[in-house]
Structure 1
Amino acid sequence: MSTENSNERRSVAFEADARLVAAAMRGDLGSMEQLLGQVQNRIFGLALKFLWNTQDAEDASQEILLRIITHLHTFRAESTFSTWAFRVAVNYLSNVRRSRMERRRIDFAVIENELSVSQTRADGGSLEGDFVEQVESHMMLEHVRAACTHAILQALEREARIAFILGVVFEMPGPEAAYVLNITPQAYRQRLHRARTRMEAFLTRNCGVMNPDAGCRCARRVDFCTSNGVLTQYIQLADALRSDGKLDAINTHYRPDYTAVGKMAAVFRNRTCDAMPDRVLNRIRRLFHTNQLRLLRDVEDSHDANSYNN
């Protein structure tokens, strides 16, 4: 696509977003729903990967959506609405109190040790053969992959983690990610490079998806993760999304022709449970019909109304 056509499409997108924002600020709930629909699932996925706890991710996502709603008047169309919304989300996540998983202070050494331990049965026997064949539900494997990748992300400090999620998992272009993080493109490239280098080294040593010679296999961890309660929160989230009709049970495919970076990205793009549960959206919808959103906006305006555009 030519640069001229790309710029034209971008201009059209900006104008469409501006119209929706203006209508939403006039009280058009349909426009508000449309705006939130553009970003709600990606924001929940971002929060879940960043915080590694489904309840913390739901709470954070609700707060982020409320901040988006109450700060619509600060949107200046300097970017698309979705990019601006990501900036609001990253601003919130970067400063929110540490999640219950973050407080465990997990690092690569801890994870590497657990991956080694979890490859064998509690009785010391191998998990090869009959056990692997008995793993009937690929959904359980998806939960294991989600739990594993979310845990590994915690080994990166917050700045590196958010850069890695934006650049590798969400494939956000560099200039856009730099805008979201409110740093220069050069600073973003350096931050992403460091995070990607550390993650690639760890996964190459340990992850069977990244490296066929590595010891860890998702199927061998199902028993360990189930017995230790690691999967409980993912199973409960999946049940909620299934009830909402939002569960994406399609397995991630890893093509043999992936580059190392491509394989790494595929490992982290498990989006089976990335949709935002309806219970979060319903709480926000209820606020549409009260004066609480206006009160929230007045409170927010008193101290940081312009922080997302400065």
Structure 2
Amino acid sequence: MVKFIQEQLKNAGDNISIDEAALLSHAMAGNAEAIERLILKYQQRIYNTILKMCGNADDAAELTQDTFVRVMQGLRGFKAHSSFYTWMFRIAVNLTLNFCKRNTKVNFQPLENEPDEQLKQQLKDFLIDKNSPNPPDVAAAGEMHNIVLKALEKLDADQRAVVVLRDIEQMNYAQIAETLDIEPGTVKSRIARGRKNLREILEAAVQ
């Protein structure tokens, strides 16, 4: 299940190559060019994560913009207790989580048509065998991507957030707990419930 979801939704971020410390120092001093470079450096990664949580490109674009507004407002007060990206990522995730809680009806935008019967059967076979390796033809199918997206939108905002952070962003429990400001035990229980519910939703999709 975890591998399947990761293959369907994971979109790896760009490698960090710019000297972040120097760039951040100039940005904190108010250098407009440095601020612009920071935004360009991270905006796609932040947008990708937000999109996985909220499922709508327009909402994700707006939330990404809101994130960078918050970042610029708080930049001078950044204390470097964590990396700059971690601090910015936390802002993005919590803005998105609050947005999703306010907008209880989340509509993930489909990328392709509804799955045909053959693809449904492939997913059904995968779900029956919990230890089944991920079939390459299923992992590559846009229709399967849609099934997972539609399943994610049915999870409540808290469960969706931890599933995205753990199974797609590959964060550990401690990182998720820090990002969401909750206890590690709460993270663990939400992930367990979220995965269970996601499997049940996917199973219902192939009936």
Which TM-score applies when normalising by structure 1? 0.46
**CA deviation after TM superposition for structure 1 residue 19, in Å:** 4.1
Give a deviation string over 1:27-65, Cα, whole Å, max 9, x none. Answer: 334432443344322211122122221111111111112
Superposed CA RMSD:
3.4
Residues 234-273 of structure 1 aligned to structure 2 (within 5 Å) = none
Contact in 1 for aligned 2:100/2:157 (Cα 8 Å): no
* Alpha carbons of structure 1 residues 34 and 146: separation in structure 2 relative to 1, 3 Å: farther
Q: Does residue 44 of the first structure (1) align with residue 41 of the second (2)?
A: no
- Provide the residue aligned with 1:178 in structure 2: 177
Range moving further from structure 2, 84-93 or 18-27: 18-27
Contact in 2 for aligned 1:83/1:176 (Cα 8 Å): no
* Alpha carbons of structure 1 residues 184 and 98: separation in structure 2 relative to 1, 3 Å: closer
Q: Choose which of 18, 28, 35 in structure 2 pairs with 1:25.
A: 28
Quote the Cα distance in structure 1 between the aligned partners of 2:51 and 2:102: 10
Gaps of 5+ in 1: 1-12, 107-114, 121-125, 128-137, 208-214, 217-310
Letter in 2 for 1:158: A
Identity of aligned residues (%): 27
Quote the Cα distance in structure 2 between the aligned partners of 1:193 and 1:97: 20
Contact in 2 for aligned 1:39/1:85 (Cα 8 Å): no
Q: Choose which of 89, 105, 119 in structure 2 pairs with 1:103.
A: 105
- Provide the residue aligned with 2:132 in structure 1: none
Quote the Cα distance in structure 2 between the aligned partners of 1:18 and 1:82: 11
- Provide the residue aligned with 1:241 in structure 2: none
- Provide the residue aligned with 1:195 in structure 2: 194
* Alpha carbons of structure 1 residues 174 and 39: separation in structure 2 relative to 1, 3 Å: farther
Quote the Cα distance in structure 2 between the aligned partners of 1:20 and 1:178: 28
Detail structure 1 runs of 4+ shifted over 6 Å in the superposition: 97-100
Quote the Cα distance in structure 2 between the aligned partners of 1:99 and 1:183: 19
Quote the Cα distance in structure 2 between the aligned partners of 1:174 and 1:88: 18
Count of paired positions: 167
Letter in 1 for 2:79: R
Quote the Cα distance in structure 2 between the aligned partners of 1:94 and 1:177: 13
Letter in 2 for 1:162: A
Contact in 2 for aligned 1:160/1:191 (Cα 8 Å): yes
* Alpha carbons of structure 1 residues 29 and 173: separation in structure 2 relative to 1, 3 Å: farther
Indicate the SS of the match to 1:43: helix
Contact in 1 for aligned 2:67/2:91 (Cα 8 Å): yes
**CA deviation after TM superposition for structure 1 residue 142, in Å:** 5.5
Letter in 1 for 2:88: A
* Alpha carbons of structure 1 residues 38 and 188: separation in structure 2 relative to 1, 3 Å: farther
- Provide the residue aligned with 2:82 in structure 1: 79
Quote the Cα distance in structure 2 between the aligned partners of 1:19 and 1:194: 42
* Alpha carbons of structure 1 residues 105 and 47: separation in structure 2 relative to 1, 3 Å: closer
Letter in 2 for 1:197: K
Give a deviation string over 1:253-289, Cα, whole Å, max 9, x none. Answer: xxxxxxxxxxxxxxxxxxxxxxxxxxxxxxxxxxxxx
Letter in 2 for 1:71: G
Gaps of 5+ in 2: 1-15, 109-113, 120-136
Contact in 1 for aligned 2:101/2:157 (Cα 8 Å): no
Q: Does residue 147 of the first structure (1) align with residue 146 of the second (2)?
A: yes
* Alpha carbons of structure 1 residues 174 and 38: separation in structure 2 relative to 1, 3 Å: farther
Give a deviation string over 1:198-243, Cα, whole Å, max 9, x none. Answer: 223444x368xxxxxxx58xxxxxxxxxxxxxxxxxxxxxxxxxxx
Contact in 2 for aligned 1:23/1:31 (Cα 8 Å): yes
* Alpha carbons of structure 1 residues 192 and 39: separation in structure 2 relative to 1, 3 Å: farther
Q: Choose which of 57, 61, 72 in structure 1 pairs with 2:60.
A: 57
Indicate the SS of the match to 1:59: helix
Quote the Cα distance in structure 1 between the aligned partners of 2:37 and 2:179: 21
